[in-house]
Structure 1
Amino acid sequence: MIPNSMPRSFMKLVLSAAVAATLAASPVQARDATRGDDSAAIIAALLGLVTLGVLLSGNDDEPTYPSGHVARPYKPTHPQVYPHRPHRPRGISKYRELPSSCLREYRTQTGRKIMFSNHCLSKEFKYARDLPRSCESTVVVKNRKGVYVTRRGYKPDCLSKRGYRATRAY
């Protein structure tokens, strides 16, 4: 079907004017006015009016086309299964979670000290360089051979005051 560039109402007006002009311009026999037989003229006029009415009252509905695709939200047939994730308190990010496997207990001459090992954190914790230097501490301990050595680490209470915490070992 060829799409129309003119509106239907304008096309109907032009078509009806063309039909009316054709009927008005058609040759009519000259008749005697005294005869009084106007039945043919009445029938022709009625036929012209019916034709004009049919043309004007044509089907006003636009042609219907298949509706095509109707957009609907996607609903999966199977329920979505999400992996279980442990509950994380608000405000705690992975940036602030220290591995509890790095907690070490050191026996010094002054007593027992618990610290996060600097060596372990540099291996296990991605953001070890960003830890506050004010929480860093050094202790002197005896190794297995009986030689005094220094160990560097971070104090857990100092780190917890600055928002860090140890994760649970699974």
Structure 2
Amino acid sequence: MNKTRIVNLVGGGIAGLLGAAVLLNAVQNPMTGRRESLRLALADVRAGDTDVESQTWDFDLWNGIITGRAYVWTELVPPPPPPPPPPPPPPEKPDLQKMLEGVRATRQQVGQKVKIFAPQIPKGVFVAVGDDVNGLKVKAIEKTGVTLSFLWKEKQEELTITLPRE
């Protein structure tokens, strides 16, 4: 026999077997038996009469049970954090006039020192450049006045004021 003929016979045999399986499945459907047994089981079940209006439901009790649970009232999303406190106001510039209230510079001078009168020192004291007067440093001594400086730490700024010499 020829190879082509053998291949054709084997292929035809397989096709014939598949066709027979399809016909057998159509004739003997496995779901038909299940469907019949379910139909018989449902035929025995009878719908009962239920009187819905005769049943009383205690809705207030249910509401109390549900709303009494703490987890019902917890938020799903936590509240946002409180806003940050406002920033502190900027520091105010010190009042040099108030710091030097009652302080007078005189024309009396000995070398590089000038005499200053203050409320705490009624007799006066001689101060030189770099000395402290009521929290201010003497920066310069001139013929017409004494320049005092104050280092403002908040702004890192040097504030100056000139006291006239009397």
TM superposition score category, shorter chain reference:
under 0.3
Structure with the bigger percentage of strand: 2
Larger radius of gyration: 2
TM-score (norm 1): 0.22
TM-score (norm 2): 0.23
